[in-house]
Structure 1
């Protein structure tokens, strides 16, 4: 297509096989979108596109991702607020006709598999190394393994006794991410066994009864902790702000074991509104999911060697030249800075 559609805090740049979604930096842009920066979404990763009325004289153009095509959306499991949705483009109502035109253009290029789940991830996520601070520890991912380093001010006695943890990607089957901002999480912890957030196993979202629960409030008494959540007289028994989210690693060795409370599980970190924010923990969870899928063995006939993964196809030089020309137009129009133009041009030339 080669066109650009600019909305509030978001710009969609259409290509022949994908749409590049760029998020502006600014106080009105949610931090998750600022962290993502930009995302290239292949049309084969979409199942459809919607155009609906928005609030206060706006319309919303939303691309609908195929299940299993985007690890970020798989990890989120439907918990993201509308403002955090990276597939939404909000436009002034007077641009509805133009938005409808582009919606039809996207529908026209969707393939025959648009209505079925993707067999592999098609959208890339932030690459390792990644890390974030949770309430009870720091989570780090170097591309090969995830490490949890516990904080004495927040980790439970069970985690402190277990010691710092390190899990290789090969040991994992998926992740379970729960947003501290999801409904029911603010102010009070959900009851044990409540269906708040579910595991994402095997690299795709699954419907499973959530057996996790957030850490219950505990108050330190004489240097000891109630419910095993705080020690050394800190008196801290729950994440800041009352919200209870968590990131749990699903291990092959524990597949048959019931999931316990995340504040007691050495394979999970707990966070709230002030610790392990969505823009830090969700890209982390998505990167781990993608790594798990990439590391999974490729099925092959019994006795035959595992086939090598296919190399990414090289881009057509003519397509690269057209993309650079279009970037130049955006640069001239002031939509790209000098540094952004130079960086994107270098990326395109590297694909030749």
Structure 2
């Protein structure tokens, strides 16, 4: 395997993938430190950009960047560019420019060969984000994602409405999209969950009172929220939903409602259940069966280990 070191970490690649081990020092990118490691299938790479910074005696170094195909880059989908964070950038000093340019040429050739073999693998986006379970703690609370549901919890820093609710669970199959809006330096950033089929509120609800929102600060908190948004997006894609073309019609949950959760009962109007048995199965059981089916899909795609799948399935079956 080929290996190239730079300021952002180390890239190791072969004919199938690029493994990125990010630098974690105090000067490292907040997103890279939160991410720690990523594995990029070469079939997900649309191109390899390389440029030298400066010329002649004024050379300042080099930059190399992987361009990820649109449907395989969850960071771009949630707006990572707004923060200036780029997990697919590597740079170095002028003295290593020739070596870096050689590796860029080799990587570009391997990516072109891989692209000829077909589309990116189904689990490609999930290989770019954080391993599960993922848990973050920010200004007004926490967010936790285990591959099947996203849970928002609030602390004493949150408003009365959120403190009263304490927590809210969003099953993956009920999520249309997760939005990430960075801080502008004056107000907090917002991590917002848009529910599949959720009715839009009659009037806008401020994020500080919206039970589908989690507020975060700048720096490390902003990077953690970005990583959470990208990770949930990657698993939505793996489940076959949340793609850009499916985003139309998604709306935020109103602050007075509750996200459907296991044991909550009910489903979308006209829903006949995950197993097609209609009224023969009560609403609570339909939700549980839908969750089990989704877990089976994630397991079949290699996104859950045998142990994780068995444990979660047993837990769900106990609720029937």
- Normalization by structure 1: what TM-score? 0.59
RMSD, aligned α-carbons: 3.3
Q: Higher mean Cα deviation, 131-140 or 43-52?
A: 131-140
Deviations 1:246-305 (A, max 9, x none): 11011013265576432221111111127x7133222222222222233347xxxxxxx9
Q: Which residue of structure 2 lines up, in the alignment, with residue 122 of structure 1?
A: 124
Partner Cα separation in structure 2 for residue 133 and residue 170 of structure 1: 24
Does 1:262 find its partner at 2:189?
Answer: no
Partner Cα separation in structure 1 for residue 227 and residue 32 of structure 2: 10
Q: Does the 8 Å contact 1:48/1:114 carry over to 2? A: no
Structure 2 unaligned blocks of 5 or more: 242-275, 277-292, 303-320
After TM superposition, list the pairs within 5 Å mapping 1:97-246 onto structure 2.
97-111=98-112, 120=122, 122-123=124-125, 124=127, 125-152=129-156, 154-180=157-183, 185-186=184-185, 188-189=186-187, 244-246=188-190
Q: Higher mean Cα deviation, 110-119 or 282-291?
A: 110-119
Measured after TM superposition, the shift of residue 32 of structure 1 is 2.2
Q: Does the 8 Å contact 1:9/1:28 carry over to 2? A: no
Q: Does the 8 Å contact 1:69/1:117 carry over to 2? A: no
Partner Cα separation in structure 2 for residue 164 and residue 150 of structure 1: 6
Q: Does the 8 Å contact 1:155/1:263 carry over to 2? A: yes
Partner Cα separation in structure 2 for residue 70 and residue 176 of structure 1: 15
Q: Count how many residue pairs are aligned between Structure 1 and Structure 2.
A: 241
Does 1:281 find its partner at 2:225?
Answer: yes
Q: Which residue of structure 2 lines up, in the alignment, with residue 58 of structure 1?
A: 61
Measured after TM superposition, the shift of residue 162 of structure 1 is 4.8
Aligned with 2:82: secondary structure?
coil
Q: Which residue of structure 2 lines up, in the alignment, with residue 12 of structure 1?
A: 11
* Larger helix proportion of the pair: 2
Does 1:292 find its partner at 2:236?
Answer: yes
Partner Cα separation in structure 2 for residue 15 and residue 259 of structure 1: 50
Q: Which residue of structure 2 lines up, in the alignment, with residue 238 of structure 1?
A: none
Measured after TM superposition, the shift of residue 91 of structure 1 is 1.5
